[in-house]
Amino acid sequence: MTVHLELPAIYQFPPLFTRQPNKSIRNKQIETWINIILTNCEQCKIWTITKQGDMKIIDPDTQQVTTFNIFHNTEIDRSCSPIFINEIWQMMQKQGQLLNRDGKDLKISTDSDELQTDEEFYILWKSLELWANEILDWFERTTQLNKVVTFYEIVSSEDNFNESFYSMPEPLLYQILKILVKRGRATMLKENSKYVAIKVI
Amino acid sequence: MGQKNSKIQITETDKAVLQLKRSKDEIHRFTKRTDILIASEKEQIKRLIKNNPTTYKQNTKIRLLLKRVHYQEHLLQQASDQLINLENMLVNIEFKLIESQFLTGLKKGNDILTKLNKEFTNIDEVISDAQEQMAYQNEINDALANSVVGVNNFEDEIDKELDNLGHEINPPSKLDMPTTEGLPAFEYDKEANITKPDIVAEKQKEERIQLPS
């Protein structure tokens, strides 16, 4: 089973990669980009993206890793400018579709040359709240209430292969489960000062 | 709303289960890694055999690779067994928890039953008490009824008085009406075309006329 990208026809359209001067057109353009990013991440279960737009696709069978940059279309030899990429990130963060690795607010500078670290973001094609609901639903469906379940079990167990959260990175899972704790429905367990498991009631 | 969230308790059992699950996770991780490793090494062996169609049997590298693959498969088997052990242990713990809950439920139910039964022994007394009171009440009623003297005589006198009143209000008639006693049954005289009552009336007329004044 190989996963591949679903790139719409407009992805082959050079102007998509050029930041449009007209504001309303640019907004539409950013919307299109966000759509492309979210759809493909959801399709191929890509959870992280670098600040420059690099993504990794892992073949589930062979575990082979393919890296590519979404903002760079080699076929038409076009890429988005860093300024434009930043604008896309800003919009995504505003809409709650991007998350910093430690859950804090991203500091996206509008300064074009500031691509300091190889920062990685989590892509949220579902909002954190929605994820929390889905995972809570899984807990109830599989009658795992009142039991200790490790993070690894939730996202890496073969039993959950068909679940929407399968292969999610554990730090992201932690951010989502924090919501359940806040709701008063769960408490997390530590091991060696790191949170590794959760008990949901 | 000012409510303090009740903290969810982590029991000692939970901690033990956590340990077991972590071990399970580690074994699972190891199994996945080893699987991939074995697959890639097998590919390597195949490639080497393809490239050395005549000498592959003596090739030390190939032999070494094959031995490694065997050893890793052996480890995998052991890991599997350990995984099964861990899973069994977890299932046992889960079941024991359910059993202990069942026991607590039984105990509590028992306690409540004994409490309720105690109330019933009291109720016995209450019932016999009530019966006594009722009997006593009946006695009182009877005593009161009989406490007034000569009440029976009044009954006869009341009867006589009522008879007198009745005669006054509904005086008996002075006429001696003939009775129908002793008369034959109802007949229909076809020839005379008169019914029996008429015949009887005729007879009665005769009898009346014959009565002395």
- The answer on A87 and A13 residing in a single domain is yes
Alpha-carbon distances, residue A79 vs A38, A72, A82, A152 (angstroms): 18, 4, 9, 37
- The answer on A113 and A179 residing in a single domain is no
Residue A1 lies in a domain: no
- The answer on A118 and A132 residing in a single domain is no
B122-180 pLDDT, tens digit each: 788 889 999 999 999 999 998 888 776 655 667 788 888 999 999 988 877 666 667 66
- The answer on A175 and A89 residing in a single domain is no
Verify whether the Cβ–Cβ distance A184 to B28 is below 8 Å.
Answer: no
Verify whether the Cβ–Cβ distance B22 to A186 is below 8 Å.
Answer: no
Higher-pLDDT residue of B210, A126:
A126
A87-109 pLDDT, tens digit each: 999 999 888 888 887 766 666 55
B7-55 pLDDT, tens digit each: 778 888 888 899 999 999 999 999 999 999 999 999 989 888 888 888 8
pLDDT recorded at residue B2 = 43
What is the pTM (predicted TM-score) of this model? 0.68
- The answer on A157 and A100 residing in a single domain is no
- CATH number for the domain spanning A193: value is 1.10.10.10
Residue A149 lies in a domain: yes
A107, A123, A139 - which closes a domain? A123
From chain B, the residues in CB contact with A197 under 8 A are: 18, 21-22
Nearest by CB to B10, which of A149, A157, A199?
A199
A32-58 pLDDT, tens digit each: 999 999 999 998 889 999 888 888 888
Verify whether the Cβ–Cβ distance A189 to B14 is below 8 Å.
Answer: yes
Residue A2 lies in a domain: no
A123, A150, A174 - which closes a domain? A123
Residue A186 lies in a domain: yes
pLDDT under 70: residue ranges of chain A? 1-3, 60-61, 103-118
The DSSP string of A26-75 is HHHHHHHHHHHHHHHHHHHT--EEETT-EEEEE-TTT--EEEEETTEETT
- The answer on A137 and A107 residing in a single domain is no
DSSP summary character for residue A101: T
Ordered strands of the A148-150 beta sheet: A148-150, A194-200, A186-191
Alpha-carbon distances, residue B96 vs A130, A149, B15, B87, B103 (angstroms): 35, 18, 16, 14, 10
Task: Specify the number of domains making up chain A.
Answer: 2
pLDDT at B181 over 80: no
From chain A, the residues in CB contact with B24 under 8 A are: 153
- The answer on A139 and A72 residing in a single domain is no
pLDDT recorded at residue B1 = 45
Min Cα distance A63 → chain B (Å) is: 8
- CATH number for the domain spanning A35: value is 1.10.10.570
Residue A152 lies in a domain: yes
Higher-pLDDT residue of B86, A191:
B86
Three-class DSSP category at A116: coil
Give CA–CA dist B100/B146, Å, rounded.
Answer: 70
Min Cα distance B36 → chain A (Å) is: 8
Give CA–CA dist A47/A57, Å, rounded.
Answer: 10
- Domain containing residue A60: 9-123
pLDDT recorded at residue A9 = 86
Residue A3 lies in a domain: no
From chain B, the residues in CB contact with A150 under 8 A are: 18, 21-22, 25
- The answer on A80 and A160 residing in a single domain is no
- The answer on A144 and A93 residing in a single domain is no
A103, A123, A143 - which closes a domain? A123
- The answer on A143 and A191 residing in a single domain is yes
- The answer on A136 and A79 residing in a single domain is no
